[in-house]
Amino acid sequence: MTRVVILAGGVGGAKFTLGVRAALARGGDPEATVVVNTGDDLWLSGVRLQPDIDSVLYALAGQNDTQRGWGRAGDTERVNAELQAWGAGWPWFTLGDLDLGTHLARTGWLREGLSVTEVVARLSRRWPIGVRMLPMTDSEVDTHVLLARGDRMHFQEWWTRHRAALAPVAFENPGVQDAVPAPGVLEAIAEADVVLLAPSNPVVSIGPILAVPGVRDALRRAPRVVGVAGIIGGTVVRGMADVCLSAIGVDTRSDAVAAHYGARTAGGLLDAWVMAEEDAALAPAVQACGIHPVVAPLWMTDAATTEAVAQAALQA
């Protein structure tokens, strides 16, 4: 049996997790746990949103809108129009009707006293998602962006409203130093044969998970930790992760992100780094860091290529 733990953000993490699920399904008696970033979570119009949890859930359930890239397939925006008419919520942030059903269910359960972990377990029950999904923590440690102009804002406002165009100087998860990993996270890592860092945004998706006290130590005790690059040919595939990387002084290069995670032998996390064929010339630099480079096609464009990316990570 192969026990796999994946650390993941939203859409990129969801795709990769689909690939891992497909790859493991060929292998007999597999078990996968995905630990999802909750730094993107926020309160809006009285409901709790968990963008990355929902991206992973909808993708694993086959309910995601693959055209638009986020939210539920076939969603409508009637309630959103009403919210806008009332001047409630954020005019630049769309809440789909089906999506609001998820948010209402989640918020109701939270108000009844369930923990975030219990809520995520309930959300996981509706469809056969084939993977155990855990939030990184039960605490509210929403990501904030500190701006060069001096103020700060919730990550979601910076990302969605301002399209990452306001220069950031740092990303913070207030209160994370007092947070603990969600029940089951450390246990899953302790029992894993391999831990995979999805090709998610290293700063605002994987970063908050690694910031939860205890997670890094658990990874150092894991038998094998493999990272997968979200950079192909020196650019981030989708999104604006390069702005986040620049803010923390990391170049948008595969070898630089590998060095950011660091080699296990040098006090970092990685045993191996799966990097794109387009970046093969950087493999010696990764090797020089003490991380085993594995060069593979990293485009997750359909089910077959996505499974191949996961397979490369599992075999690394």
Binding interface with Ca ion (CB under 5 A):
9-10, 40, 52
Pairing of strands 168-172, 235-236: unpaired
> How far is CA 109 from its chain centroid?
23
For the record, the structure tokens of 286 come out as 């990764």
Per CB under 6 A, does 237 bind ligand GDP? yes
The answer to whether the CB of 159 falls within 8 A of the CB of 239 is no
Pick the piece of the chain touching ligand GDP (CB under 6 A) from 148-156, 184-192, 217-225, 232-240. Answer: 232-240
Pick the piece of the chain touching ligand GDP (CB under 6 A) from 88-96, 229-237, 262-270, 288-296. Answer: 229-237
Q: Among residue numbers 144 through 203, which ones bind ligand GDP (CB under 6 A)?
A: 199-201
Among 197, 282, 298, 310, contact with ligand GDP (rule: CB under 6 A): 298
How far is the CA of 186 from the CAs of 2, 33, 95, 181, 234, in angstroms?
17, 11, 33, 7, 33
The answer to whether the CB of 212 falls within 8 A of the CB of 252 is no
Closest by alpha carbon to 67, among 79, 75, 56, 77?
Answer: 75
How many residues make contact with ligand GDP (CB under 6 A)? 23
Question: Left (φ > 0), alpha (ψ -120 to 50) or beta: where does 133 sit?
Answer: beta
Q: Which is nearer to ligand GDP, 12 or 293 (CB)?
A: 12
Q: Which is nearer to ligand GDP, 36 or 111 (CB)?
A: 36
Q: Among residue numbers 43 through 62, which ones bind ligand GDP (CB under 6 A)?
A: 52, 55
x/- map, 13-32, ligand GDP, by CB under 6 A:
x-------------------
SS3 236: strand
Among 5, 20, 136, 236, contact with ligand GDP (rule: CB under 6 A): 236
- Residues of the shown chain interacting with ligand GDP in the complex, contacts defined by CB under 6 A: 8-13, 52, 55, 199-201, 205, 229-230, 232, 236-239, 241, 298-300
